[in-house]
């Protein structure tokens, strides 16, 4: 996430960094599911930002993220820690 700054490139609002479960639709129509990806979300624009190196590592450079939700494990961990 080093390449993603603390603000949204589109609207300059703050980003929320967390882990997300995501679905990517590939050009051939297949879908790839990933769990617990580190990413940043702009609540205003509803855009999810992932490190470009991670996208390459996942082998979805031509894919489009069609769904993302904050990972339950992060929420459970925060609840247990009292955050």
- Cα angle: 73, vertex 78, 82; to 5 degrees: 150
Residue with tokens 């991670």: 54
Q: What is the pLDDT of residue 25?
A: 96
d(CA 72, CA 83): 14
Name the pTM for this structure: 0.74
Q: What is the pLDDT of residue 1?
A: 40
Residue with tokens 């590939």: 26
Instruction: Write out residues in the chain with pLDDT < 70, as ranges.
Output: 1-5, 73-83
Q: What is the pLDDT of residue 83?
A: 54
Strand partners, 67: 23
Q: What is the pLDDT of residue 2?
A: 42
Q: What is the pLDDT of residue 46?
A: 86
Using alpha carbons, list the distances in angstroms from residue 22 to 15, 65, 79, 81.
17, 7, 22, 25
């Amino acid at each position: 996430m080093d390449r993603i700054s603390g603000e949204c490139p589109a609207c300059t609002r703050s980003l929320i960094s967390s882990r997300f479960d995501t679905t990517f639709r590939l050009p051939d129509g297949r879908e790839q599911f990933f769990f617990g990806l580190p990413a940043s979300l702009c609540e205003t624009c509803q855009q999810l930002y992932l490190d470009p190196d991670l996208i390459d590592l996942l082998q979805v450079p031509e894919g489009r993220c069609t769904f993302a939700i904050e990972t339950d494990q992060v929420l459970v961990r925060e609840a247990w820690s009292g955050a």
